[in-house]
């Protein structure tokens, strides 16, 4: 595979185990075409399906996609309503994809803010794909890195109060185990299309040593080739983790 690259010890550098994608630029994609923003979101959802399948096919173990942030509630009601309808429709359609591809789906974020119907669908998808042994697909919806860490702090405080743990037990591993991504490796690579150069509250704790790759193109235009390019660039990076 072209992205396999020999490192100095002669071993092959592996693919990233975990890729995060900030699926940004749907609105601008639509605007460029004189279409309503909703058309961009629709095109973005179609592209998500394509890229998720591709990641599974090439052997990515974990894929985390950012679909809706805790700050996206600041958008006009009409856009939020459209996005919620799109999530419902998408989840119904994608159930068969997940089965076919043996993908295990998890949702990262606070589900309580969604409609009863959407919450039910989320539970169904998580339950029905739980036994799947292929790629883990994390869908970050009503997700915020700060909110995630705050929730972890609360859970740890309750355990402390109930004397399940002692202060000495609080360490980085324990914090990680209280995040939505508990038990998963941190993302090796985070990709953001759209031209924005920021994380926008995505995986704040987990991204401490992620390699960041930004693309100057909009999410609905992000192709399998672009993903290959990102993986290639990732393989050329020297990850030091503070060492030399
Ligand atoms: C990302 O695209 C989708 C969501 C945040 C839900 P945007 O809607 O942010 O698109 P731009 O950034 O306005 O182009
Ligand atoms: C980040 O994109 C969130 C998602 C892609 C779901 P935004 O469009 O919300 O981010 P900002 O506002 O440009 O930082
Ligand atoms: Mg945006």
pLDDT in tens, 184-194: 999 999 999 99
pLDDT in tens, 4-30: 444 444 344 579 999 999 999 999 999
Which CB contacts under 8 angstroms, 24+ apart, belong to 168-176?
Answer: 175/149, 175/205, 176/205, 176/206
pLDDT averaged over every residue in the chain: 94
Quick check: 214 pLDDT over 90?
A: yes
pLDDT of 13: 54
Tokens of 8: 């100095």
Tokens of 113: 């803010």
Please tell me the class of the 18-144+186-232 domain: alpha beta
Using a 6 Å cutoff on CB, does residue 66 contact ligand 2? yes
Closest CA to 19 of 201, 228, 225, 182: 228
Which residue has a Cα nearest atom 1 of ligand 2? 200
Supply φ then ψ for residue 65, to 5 degrees: -110, 140
Cite the active site residues.
24, 72
Using a 6 Å cutoff on CB, does residue 67 contact ligand 2? yes
Ligand closest to 71 (CA) is 2
Which residues surround the ion ligand 3 when the cut-off is CB under 5 Å? 24
Name the residue ranges covered by the structural domains of the chain: 18-144+186-232
Give the pLDDT band (50/70/90) at residue 94.
confident
Ligand 2 atom nearest to CA at 68: 6
Distance 25 CA to ligand 3 centre (A): 5
pLDDT of 127: 96
Average pLDDT (109-115) is: 98
Ligand closest to 220 (CA) is 1
């Amino acid at each position: 595979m072209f992205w396999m690259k020999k490192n100095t010890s002669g071993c092959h550098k592996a693919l990233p185990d975990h890729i995060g994608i900030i699926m940004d630029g749907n609105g601008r994609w639509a605007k460029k075409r004189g279409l309503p923003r909703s058309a961009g979101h629709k095109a973005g959802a179609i592209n998500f399906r394509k890229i998720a399948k591709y990641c599974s096919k090439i052997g990515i173990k974990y894929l985390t996609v950012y679909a809706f942030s805790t700050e996206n509630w600041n958008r006009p009601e009409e856009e939020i309503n459209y996005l919620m309808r799109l999530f419902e429709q998408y989840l119904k359609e994608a159930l068969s994809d997940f089965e076919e591809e043996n993908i295990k789906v998890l949702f990262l974020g606070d589900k309580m803010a969604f409609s009863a119907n959407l919450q039910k669908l989320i539970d169904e998808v998580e339950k029905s794909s739980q036994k799947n042994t292929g790629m883990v697909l994390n869908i970050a919806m009503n997700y915020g890195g700060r909110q995630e860490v705050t929730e972890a702090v609360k859970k740890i405080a309750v355990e402390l109060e109930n004397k399940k743990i002692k202060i000495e037990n609080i360490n980085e591993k324990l914090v990680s185990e209280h995040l939505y991504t508990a038990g998963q490796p941190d993302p090796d690579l985070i990709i953001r299309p759209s031209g924005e150069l920021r994380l926008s509250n995505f995986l704040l704790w987990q991204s401490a040593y992620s390699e960041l790759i930004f693309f100057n193109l909009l999410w609905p235009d992000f192709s399998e080739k672009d993903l290959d390019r990102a993986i290639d660039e990732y393989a050329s990076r020297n990850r030091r983790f503070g060492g030399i």
